[in-house]
Amino acid sequence: MDKGPHLIKKIPDMMNIVKVHKQNQIIGFVPTMGFLHKGHISLIQSARKDNDIVVVSIFVNPKQFAPNEDIDRYPRNIKRDIEICREQGVDYIFYPCAEEMYPNGFQTSVSLSELTKGLCGKSRPTHFSGVTTVLTKLFNIIQPDNVYFGQKDAQQAVIVKQMIKDLNYPITMHILPIIREDNGIAMSSRNKYLSAGQMKNAEVLNKSLKLAETLIKQGERNCNRLKKIIYHKIENENRNSNANIKIDYIEIVNFDNLQPIENVRTNTLIAIAVFIGQTRLIDNIVIK
Ligand code: AMP
């Protein structure tokens, strides 16, 4: 067989390919919405190390966008994505269209009752059921042994871990660290929306998390005080620019169950979401 990546657009084709490999090979799967960057590449590289076969999906999933979130604006570049996958030794790119995944009459949704309520779930109430519905389909189609997710989307990672457990998928989940630009900004396809000035403003997300981390190292444990400090850092940092910055949330929770906590302890997640102009960015750190 010639070298990959093979671009597969139809579900039955993907399932037939998987059926053959499943007999004696380990399959690693990296779900993405494309417009690949170094964050995605780090997941692909881990998958390449652990598995015989690597499948990357590229699907801008309409079910995880609310009507006001403008899915049509989401950046895409399939040619470049194919090239990146080729360089990384990906075997298959699963690249279905929306009608392939959600044909007329589609009516099932998969959702979790508790983990989706807080953090991003508050301002994006339908987002996570879109994510878990598409992942259920993708897991059934690709039947991976290993799946790779980024800590960048920390709530998503916790939700998927729970879904894998609840639905008895025989899948091992790997959560990999956040890959950042040189200036500390978490890599994201959505950074494409930012002007040079906004990119500079966006540095405050990581800076405020770093400040919290330093204070924790110095002994601060009180989550309310830490949240206030992060809040003021974000509010003050760009005071003198004409940046349009709005905090969506600052939360400090247990990374296992996303429950708010009063005092920092091991495995604490500090997660923030901030609008820079119209673009909503997320970032987080985990205090080990
Ligand atoms: P997306 O294409 O944005 O849906 O992301 C696909 C996967 O890549 C998700 O598991 C993300 O958490 C992960 N990811 C996105 N950005 C980063 C990053 N900067 N570092 C590590 N993983 C990332």
Atom nearest to 153 CA in ligand 1:
12
In the predicted structure, residue 274 carries a pLDDT above the cut 80: yes
Q: How far is the CA of 1 from the centre of ligand 1 (A)?
A: 30
In the predicted structure, residue 214 carries a pLDDT above the cut 80: yes
237-247 pLDDT, tens digit each: 988 777 899 99
Query: How far is the C-alpha of 12 from the C-alpha of 23, rounded, in Å?
Result: 17
Enumerate the domain spans of the chain.
Answer: 6-176, 189-287
Query: How far is the C-alpha of 282 from the C-alpha of 288, rounded, in Å?
Result: 20
pLDDT at 102: 98
In the predicted structure, residue 270 carries a pLDDT above the cut 70: yes
Atom nearest to 189 CA in ligand 1:
3
Query: How far is the C-alpha of 262 from the C-alpha of 209, rounded, in Å?
Result: 17
For residue 140, what are the contacts with CB-CB under 8 A and spacing of at least 6? Answer: none
Q: Of 280, 283, 269, nearest to 66 (Cα)?
A: 280
Average pLDDT for 44-66 = 98
Q: How far is the CA of 149 from the centre of ligand 1 (A)?
A: 7
Query: How far is the C-alpha of 189 from the C-alpha of 198, rounded, in Å?
Result: 15
Q: What is the mean pLDDT of the chain?
A: 97
268-276/245-254 β-pairing: antiparallel
Percent of the chain with pLDDT strictly greater than 90 = 95
Active-site residue list: 40
Token pair for 131: 């994510």
Q: Residue 103: is the preceding peptide bond cis (ω within 30°)?
A: no
For residue 175, what are the contacts with CB-CB under 8 A and spacing of at least 6? Answer: 149, 150, 151, 157, 161
Atom nearest to 190 CA in ligand 1:
3
Ligand 1, pocket-test mutation among 29, 88, 152, most atoms within 8 A of CB = 152
Token pair for 127: 């987002």
Q: How far is the CA of 153 from the centre of ligand 1 (A)?
A: 7
pLDDT at 71: 96
Token pair for 139: 């897991």
Average pLDDT for 244-256 = 97
pLDDT at 2: 63
Residue 217 one-letter amino acid: K
CATH tag for 6-176 (out of 3.40.50.11900, 3.20.20.70, 3.40.50.620, 1.10.10.10)? 3.40.50.620
CATH tag for 189-287 (out of 3.30.1300.10, 3.40.50.11540, 1.10.3720.10, 3.30.43.10)? 3.30.1300.10
pLDDT at 4: 82
Q: How far is the CA of 103 from the centre of ligand 1 (A)?
A: 27
CB within 6 Å of ligand 1 — which residues?
32-33, 39-40, 42-43, 149-150, 152-153, 176, 178-179, 186-189
pLDDT at 200: 95
CA angle (63, 33, 127) in 5-degree steps: 30
6-28 pLDDT, tens digit each: 999 999 999 999 999 999 999 99
